[in-house]
Structure 1
């Protein structure tokens, strides 16, 4: 794994209720396709990108989950996320990364640019189509 050249700060969006010092680890089911267990933990250097992930996870939970964004610190090597950098955005303008090592929670962010209800519905429809079609392979 080649270490990505980004100094952060880094963010992770989720519905998990975490505390400072907690570790986020790989090995959990993917929010977007629960049959997939992830080998990496994903994060970004763009707070609104983490907010997007958190809001989508909350929407998909169908249970009134709270979207949360945490400031995180990688505890090991990390690389560019090949699911977006190789397939969609060469050069990694989304500043998206992944690591097989845990991420340490440093703080929680409560303000980011929230999705409009229309944009959130559009994302939900896209992900529903992805799930039902069983396509959209990921590099895990």
Structure 2
């Protein structure tokens, strides 16, 4: 019997301009460690978390938050679950199977310029730190 980790709804943040019905798949470079091609597609049950991911995503497009539906099984994201936070307070997940776009959220809270700069600086520090590895 499959354990239900979270009922959702689920969200994915990106700068890609996508349409309902399209699939998001693994196999792209990490936004946080560009030298790594990711084996999973990541998502969250928190629209604000997806919004932050969208604003930090690589690319020149506008940050976008999509409502997504997993097409297969998924697991807690080990990059934040228990490794950095006890449990899964960020409600962050990953899957090897695609996520189907079922809608878009347009009213998510945006980061201030200062907060976004602080996140970018922290990520740059993590990239420079060998311990800032990604569990892929």
Whether TM-score is above 0.5 comes out as yes
Which residue of the partner structure matches residue 132 of structure 2? 136
**Structure 1: gaps (5+ residues):** none
How many residue pairs get aligned? The number is 135
Q: Is the 8 A contact 1:71 1:106 kept in 2?
A: yes
Cα deviation for residue 34 of structure 1 reads 1.0
CA distance in 2: counterparts of 1:112 and 1:70, whole angstroms? 11
Which residue of the partner structure matches residue 19 of structure 2? 19
Which residue of the partner structure matches residue 100 of structure 1? 96
Give RMSD over aligned pairs: 1.4
Cα deviation for residue 4 of structure 1 reads 4.5
- Bigger helix share: 1
> Residue 3 and residue 12 in structure 1: after superposition, are their counterparts in 2 closer, same or farther (change >3 A)?
farther
- TM-score normalised over the length of structure 2: 0.93
CA distance in 2: counterparts of 1:51 and 1:44, whole angstroms? 10
TM superposition outliers: structure 1 runs of 4+ over 4 Å: none
**Structure 2: gaps (5+ residues):** none
- TM-score normalised over the length of structure 1: 0.90
